[in-house]
A and B are shown apart, each in its own frame.
Chain A
Amino acid sequence: MRLVSTIALIALAATALPTHAKMPLGFDSRFLFNGMKYEVDVDRDKDTLLVANVKIKEGAKEDVGQIRSVAEHFVEPSGCGISAIHLDDTTFVKMKIKIWYADYVCPEGTNLRTLIVDQRDALRKGEPLHK
């Protein structure tokens, strides 16, 4: 009985964690943009970045143009561009956090995924991407 109570209390504590702590990403980059903190993760298979504002409150407004600016700012040093921004409705519903998908296109010979993975430690400290 005590064990069950303990487990239930742990489960309760877990629900009290801030929303961003539940974010499923092992993020590749974290940086400030216009005074807000964003996390960016590169998809390991598709040419897509996952972008999330880590401190945004549930229900707060966040538009697609704002996310495009964040994604473009992030990839700019690589010469890559952002072709599409979209929101995964399912992720939004389940995780209560908006995770945006930013599809990117790179010049021939540039592999953005490799650049990000190679510079991951520096990017996680807030340093900008470099070619």
Chain B
Amino acid sequence: MKKLTLVLTLFVVGGCASTPQTMLSTLDRADPKYESQGCIDARNIAMQYDNKPLTRGALEAISMALGPLATGGYSLLDSNTHVRNRDEVMAEIHRRCTSGSADLKKCHEENGKIICV
């Protein structure tokens, strides 16, 4: 029973991480960039992205729980590379599918105050 509880807990913990697929549901479909070819390509890549939720998620959770003890075995999975790739895919989706995330203005001083227009 204890083993079952532990295994289920680890799967749940592992499943809490954001994935490219879950990120797609947060995108604004009304955003002009959503239907751009760049965004469509990024969304297709996200749909095909393999998260390996059961094995990798559980092993990530075990590593998180055991800390340094699990480092040796866990490194064999090259998980850092996996997480980095996942983050890169998600950052790319955000960059290609979301507009209006930068706003620049020119500033000048007027009567001791900065005015930006």
Interface residues of A (CB under 8 A from B): 1-2, 4-5, 7-9, 11-12, 15, 58-59, 61, 63-65, 68, 79-87, 89-90, 92-94, 96, 105-108
* CA–CA, A7 and B63, complex, Å: 11
Residues of chain A within 8 A (CB-CB) of B95 are 89
B41 contacts the other chain (Cβ, under 8 Å)?
no
Residue of A nearest to B23 (CB): A93
Say whether, besides A11-B13, A92-B94, A107-B113, A84 and B103 are in contact (CB < 8 Å): yes
Interchain CB contact under 8 A, B26 and A83: no
Contact, CB under 8 Å: B91 / A9: no
CA distance A45 to B84 in the complex (A): 27
Tell me if B109 and A107 are in contact (CB < 8 A): yes
Residue of A with least CB distance to B102? A86
Q: Mark B1-36, 1 if CB is under 8 A from A, else 0.
A: 010011001101100101000010110100000000
Asked if A8 contacts B10 (CB within 8 A), the reply is: yes
Report B-chain residues with C-beta under 8 Å of the C-beta of A86. 101-103
Mark contacts of B83-117 with chain A using CB atoms, 8 A cut-off: 1 yes-contact digit, 0 otherwise.
00001001100110000111111110100111110
B76 at the A interface (CB under 8 A): no
Contact of A15 among B5, B13, B23 (CB under 8 A): B13
Q: What are 30 residue pairs bridging A and B, where the CB atoms are less than 8 Å apart in the complex?
A: A4-B6, A5-B2, A7-B66, A8-B61, A9-B9, A11-B61, A12-B9, A12-B13, A15-B16, A63-B100, A64-B102, A64-B103, A65-B103, A79-B112, A80-B114, A81-B107, A82-B105, A83-B106, A84-B102, A84-B103, A84-B104, A85-B102, A85-B103, A86-B101, A87-B101, A89-B91, A90-B91, A93-B87, A93-B94, A94-B87
- Whether B113 lies near A93 (C-beta < 8 A) is no
Q: Which residues of A are found within 8 Å of B47, using beta-carbon distances?
A: none
Chain A residues within 8 Å of B65, by CB: 4, 7-8, 11
Q: With a CB–CB cut-off of 8 A, which chain A residues contact B101? A: 64, 86-87, 89
Interface residue from A58, A87, A106 paired with B102 (Cβ < 8 Å) = A87
Q: Decide if A5 touches B6 in the complex (CB within 8 Å).
A: yes
How far is B114's CA from A107's CA once the two chains are assembled, in angstroms?
A: 6
Report B-chain residues with C-beta under 8 Å of the C-beta of A65. 103
Considering the chains assembled together, what is the distance between the CA atoms of A55 and B100 in angstroms?
Answer: 21
